[in-house]
Amino acid sequence: MSQLLLFNVFNGLIIGAFYALMALGLSLILNLSGVINFAHGGFLAIGGYLAYTVAPYLGFWGALVASPFLVALIGILIERVLVRRLYGRDPLYSLLLTFGLAFMIEDGTRFIWGAQSLPYQIPSSLAAPLSTEFFFLTGYRVFMMALVAAAVLGLFLILNYTRLGLRIRAGTLDLETVSVLGVNVRALRSVNFGLGIYLAGLAGVLAVGMLGLQPTVGDNLIMPSFIAIIVGGLGSLPGTLLGGLMIGVASGVTSVYFPSASEAVMYVMMAAVLIVRPRGLLGEEGRF
């Protein structure tokens, strides 16, 4: 029993790491630009499919590096052409735009790569279990956890110790003042959007090794990411990280005892947070 519990806690941590990776990207974009990117799951799917396409040429490791960058480029392009026009307008419009984009991306990936689930080969050095007793600890899963941790660490280092990060954090608090101080806010938002999409792409490459590739792969990850943001608190990236891991572990643990309630427990947590602390666990007072 304890092994089963451990297995599910670990599973929950992995899933939670995905939620957190998705949600951090969403949060970055939401905090600086006030846009809920509903197409985030779509970008995740693109990340997976691009990795599938370039892997024969670049190998697994090459795809892991290249695909998120390509997705980020697509993201920046979309931001420049479409999303940018809606800054400062009612959030209604940017939401509808990203809704439309989500439709188009899902259908587009189905058109290009087909509706069937595609297999994604991971290196055999990563596929083997690390020990016979803890069969669930495959190299790939541990590697995934390490990579997500590295990505999150990298993000926080960028935000805290680089000029770009400083500007993003400042812009989150007061974009107008940052603009008056001579920062090119348009470029800042573009880069920030790209950074958020990069995280989605990275999550996509990692996810397909575990979940397989289909056009709707992002669909099951986007709602939990929303919940992670709401639970963690809007405007707080550490909160988002915490929220993602918490709901991941909670649904992992729940699936030991009530498998069918593993989705529901996330919503229960969200409801509880909204009742007790509407701004979220680490959210700022009065931001929304």
Partner 1 sequence: MPKFDKRAADVLVWTLLLTAPFWLPMSGSYVELGSRVVIYALAAMALNFLLGYTGVLSFGHAAYFGLGGYGTAMTIKFLYPSTPVAMVVGIVVGTVAAAIIGPMIVRLRGVYFAMCTIAFGQVFYYIAFQWSSVTGGDDGLSAWERQPINLGFTSLDILHDNKSFYYFVLAVFAVSVGIMAFLLRSPFGRTLLAIRENERRARFLGIPVDRHIWMSWVISCFFVSVAGCLYALLSDFIDPRAIRWDQSGTFVIMTVLGGMRSFWGPLIGAAIFLVLEDYISSHTENWMSFIGLFFVLIVLFFPRGVLGIIQRKAAP
CA-CA distance, 161 to 141, in Å (whole number)? Answer: 30
The two structure tokens encoding residue 212? 């397989």
Contact residue for partner 1 among 6, 82, 183, 211 (CB under 8 A): 82
Q: Is 264 in the site for partner 1 (CB under 8 A)?
A: yes
Contact residue for partner 1 among 65, 107, 150, 258 (CB under 8 A): 107
Q: What is the nearest approach in angstroms of partner 1 to the Cβ of residue 102?
A: 7
Q: Is 85 in the site for partner 1 (CB under 8 A)?
A: yes
Specify the amino acid at residue 11. N
Piece of the chain touching partner 1 by CB under 8 A; list 55-63, 157-165, 172-180, 223-231: 223-231
273 φ/ψ angles, rounded to the nearest 5 degrees:
-65, -40
Contact residue for partner 1 among 14, 70, 102, 205 (CB under 8 A): 102
Contact residue for partner 1 among 151, 270, 281, 282 (CB under 8 A): 270
Site residues for partner 1, window 18-37 (CB under 8 A)? 30, 34, 36
Q: What is the nearest approach in angstroms of partner 1 to the Cβ of residue 181?
A: 26
Q: Which residues contact 189 (CB under 8 A, 6 or more apart)?
A: 32, 33, 79, 84, 87, 171
CA-CA distance, 252 to 230, in Å (whole number)? Answer: 19
CA-CA distance, 9 to 283, in Å (whole number)? Answer: 26
Q: Is 134 in the site for partner 1 (CB under 8 A)?
A: no
Q: Is 229 in the site for partner 1 (CB under 8 A)?
A: yes
Q: Is 256 in the site for partner 1 (CB under 8 A)?
A: no
36 φ/ψ angles, rounded to the nearest 5 degrees:
-85, 115
Residue 280 — left, alpha, or beta (φ > 0 → left; ψ -120 to 50 → alpha)?
left
Contact residue for partner 1 among 172, 195, 226, 252 (CB under 8 A): 226
Contact residue for partner 1 among 17, 29, 50, 97 (CB under 8 A): 97
CA-CA distance, 204 to 225, in Å (whole number)? Answer: 14
CA-CA distance, 205 to 84, in Å (whole number)? Answer: 27
Q: In this structure, how many other beta carbons lie within 10 angstroms of the beta carbon of residue 231?
A: 28
Which candidate, 152, 160, 157, 168, places its Cα nearest to that of 242?
A: 152
Q: Is 135 in the site for partner 1 (CB under 8 A)?
A: no
Q: Which is nearer to partner 1, 209 or 233 (CB)?
A: 233
Q: Is 108 in the site for partner 1 (CB under 8 A)?
A: yes
Q: What is the nearest approach in angstroms of partner 1 to the Cβ of residue 151?
A: 24
Q: In this structure, how many other beta carbons lie within 10 angstroms of the beta carbon of residue 175?
A: 18
**Angle separating helix axes 139-161 and 185-211, nearest 10 degrees:** 170
Contact residue for partner 1 among 5, 257, 263, 277 (CB under 8 A): 263
- Which residues here bind partner 1, judged by CB under 8 A? 30, 34, 36, 82, 85-86, 89, 91-97, 99-108, 111, 223, 226-227, 229-230, 234, 260, 263-264, 267, 270-271, 274-275, 278, 288
